[in-house]
Structure 1
C-alpha cells in the first residue's frame, strides 16, 4: 500500500476521482489507492449501488402500504455507503446510525433483518457479532462513543482491527461525537469517523450549523481529515483505504467528510417539499452517484445490455426477498418486550413483567 498521506480539508476543496458526468479525474494523492480496482470490481460496485437503491425504494413502498411503521431512506447516499462498506475487512466493526442500510448490505445482513425494527417486531434487527456491525442507533451521535470504545479495546488486544462510525452532518453538533474525538485523539484509537454530510439535519440545512467545512473541525482535536465527493464511489473507497491504513499502522483516527445529498425525506414521516428548494434538488440530481457510475462504465464500454439485465434481475430478486421476508414476520409475543433488556434479569424488571402480564390478562374474556 502507498504511504497514508492525508490531505488537509481546511480549504474546503472536495477530493473527486469521478466527475458528475462520469469522467475520470486524476488526483496524485488518491489515484494509487484505487489503482487495483479492475473492471469486474467496477461492475460489482455499480451492482451494489443499484441493489441498495432498490432495497430502499421497496422498503419505502412497504411503509407506504402500512407494512412498516417507519423507514429512513438513503437514496442519494449509495456511493458513500458502498464505497466505504466494500473497503472494510470482515473483522472490522461498524457502528452506524439508522440510515446505514447500504453498509449493512455490504456486511452481509439478512434482508429481513433490515426491517425487523421498522416493523416493530424486535429491539434490534440482527446479532451484531454475526456481521460485525452494531444494531441501528437512533440516539443521534451516540455510536461514535461506542466505536471509539471498541477501537480502544482492539488497541489493548494488540489486533489491527479498525472500528468505523457513520453519522450525519446534524450529529456533528451533538456532544457525543466531539467527546469521542477527544478520546480517539488522546489515545490514538484505530477508529474512522465517517460523516455523511447529506446537507440536511431533518429540515435544517447544514449551513446553519457549519460556517466552515465540517472536516475542518477534526484537526482541532488532533485528527487528520479528508473532505471528499460522497457521490463518487472511487473517491470514497480511496479515502477509506487511507484511513484504514493509518489506523492499522498505529497512526490513530481519521475523519472523513463525504459530501453527498439526501434525495428523499429524513424518514417516511417527513415531507421535504416543505423546506427543500426544487432547483437545489435538481442540481444534486445531476450529481447522482448511480448515474455517475453508469456514465463511467459506459465510457469504458462496460455498461452492456447483459450487465444492465443482470443487475436489474439481482435488484428485483433482492426486493422480492425483502418483501417476502417482511410479510412473513410474525408478531412477537407480548411479554418478549422484556427479553434482553439486560444481560441478566433483575427483580424490578421481573416485577414490571408480572404487572404487564396481569394487565394483559385483564382483557381476556371481555373484561
Structure 2
C-alpha cells in the first residue's frame, strides 16, 4: 500500500536507503552547525531556569536532529507550528533567541511576531496546533499559494483526539501539511508502550489515507531527507504526510521533573551512544567535510551565541501588570474590571 511507512525507521548515515537521497554535504554541514548551536542554546536556557530567569524550560537535548531538520526542510514562506519543546527549531529558523524564551519567562505573549516569522506560538496543550496547521494549509491552498505547514508534536499528542481530527481533515481536503511526531519515548512519565500498541505511530496515518513514514530521529541526514520528501509531496498537491521520528529526550520533561522516577540510567546511557550530533560529526569527518579547525570554529560560535543570550536575559524585562487583563476578552467582564481597579489602587498606594 502506498501509504505504508517503511518497516523499519529510515537511516542514511550508517546504512544508505535507496528510497531517500543523501543530502548534499553543505546541507549536512549547515545542519551540524545548527545542531551544535542549538544544543548550547538549550543548555544555556536550562541554566537560566536555575537562576530564576526562566519560569520553566523543556529541554530538547538529544532531539536536535528533529529540531534542526524541521526548520531546514521548509522555506521562508512556509509555516511552522511548534510545541513548547521546540525552541531549538525556532532558533534555527532565525527567530531572536530572547524572543523565543519570552513565553517561558512568564510573559503573556509568545515573544516574536507570528505573521512575519510565519511561526505559530509555541503550543503547550497537546495536539491543538495540528488543527491550526491544517486550517492554515487548507486556506493557503484555496488562495492558490504553494505554502506548506509543518506541525511538530510529541508521541503523547498522538493519543489526543485533536491529532486524529487533524489527520482526517487534512486527508479529506488534501491539505499541504506535514506532521512530524518526535517520538522521544515518553509522554512526561508515560512510556510509549502504555500509549499505543500500533506497529509504529507512523501507521496511524494509514486509516485516514495519509502517506506516512518513520525515520531514525537521531540520524540528521535521514530526518532531513525524509522531511524534504514529505514537504515536496505536500507542496506538489499530494496531500498531507505523517512522519514519525524515533528519538530520545536526554533531559527530564522540564526542569520541574524527576526523570529518575520512571527511567533507568542504563536506558539514558544507551541513547547517549546514538547522540545525533556525534553521529553526524563522525560522518562529516569521514567524508572529509569537517576537520578540527572547523569544529572549533563552530563550537566557538555556539559559545558566543550562548553568551549573548545569557547577557541579554540578565536584563530585567519592562513589564506592565495591567497586561494581565488585556486580550482576555474583547469586552472585559465585570470581574476583570474589578480586579484591574484593585491592581491600579495597589500601584497608586506604593
Give the TM-score taking structure 1 as reference length: 0.91
Distance (whole Å) between structure 1 residues aligned to residue 307 and residue 204 of structure 2: 43
Q: Partner of 2:11 in structure 1?
A: 16
Deviations 1:250-276 (A, max 9, x none): 110000000100011111111101111
Q: Partner of 2:20 in structure 1?
A: 30
Q: Partner of 1:107 in structure 2?
A: 93
2:193 is equivalent to residue 207 of structure 1: yes
Deviations 1:287-326 (A, max 9, x none): 1101101111221233322112211111111111211222
Report how far residue 362 of structure 1 moved. Answer: 4.1
Distance (whole Å) between structure 1 residues aligned to residue 6 and residue 219 of structure 2: 20
Residue 238 (structure 2) aligned to one of 217, 226, 251: 251
**What SS does the aligned partner of 2:112 have?**
coil
Deviations 1:70-99 (A, max 9, x none): 001000000011122111111100111111
* Paired residue total: 349
2:325 is equivalent to residue 338 of structure 1: yes
Distance (whole Å) between structure 2 residues aligned to residue 102 and residue 326 of structure 1: 17
2:134 is equivalent to residue 148 of structure 1: yes
8 Å contact 2:3–2:206 — kept in the other structure?
no
Deviations 1:219-238 (A, max 9, x none): 11100100000011111111
For structure 2, the 5+ residue unaligned runs are none
Distance 1:356 1:204, change over 3 A: same
Using the TM superposition, name which of 212-221 and 299-308 deviates more.
Answer: 299-308
Report how far residue 353 of structure 1 moved. Answer: 4.9
Distance (whole Å) between structure 2 residues aligned to residue 125 and residue 276 of structure 1: 34
Distance (whole Å) between structure 1 residues aligned to residue 189 and residue 98 of structure 2: 30
Q: CA RMSD in A?
A: 1.8
Distance 1:7 1:287, change over 3 A: farther
Q: Partner of 1:124 in structure 2?
A: 110
**What SS does the aligned partner of 1:86 have?**
helix
Deviations 1:22-59 (A, max 9, x none): xxx2211102xx45x12x33222111001000010000
Distance (whole Å) between structure 2 residues aligned to residue 89 and residue 266 of structure 1: 30
Residue 290 (structure 1) aligned to one of 262, 265, 277: 277
Distance 1:178 1:358, change over 3 A: same
Residue 289 (structure 2) aligned to one of 296, 302, 305: 302
8 Å contact 1:80–1:258 — kept in the other structure?
yes
Q: Partner of 2:339 in structure 1?
A: 356
Distance 1:101 1:322, change over 3 A: same
Distance (whole Å) between structure 1 residues aligned to residue 343 and residue 256 of structure 2: 30
8 Å contact 1:229–1:235 — kept in the other structure?
yes
2:79 is equivalent to residue 93 of structure 1: yes
Distance 1:6 1:43, change over 3 A: farther
8 Å contact 2:325–2:340 — kept in the other structure?
no
Distance (whole Å) between structure 2 residues aligned to residue 6 and residue 286 of structure 1: 34
For structure 1, the 5+ residue unaligned runs are 20-24
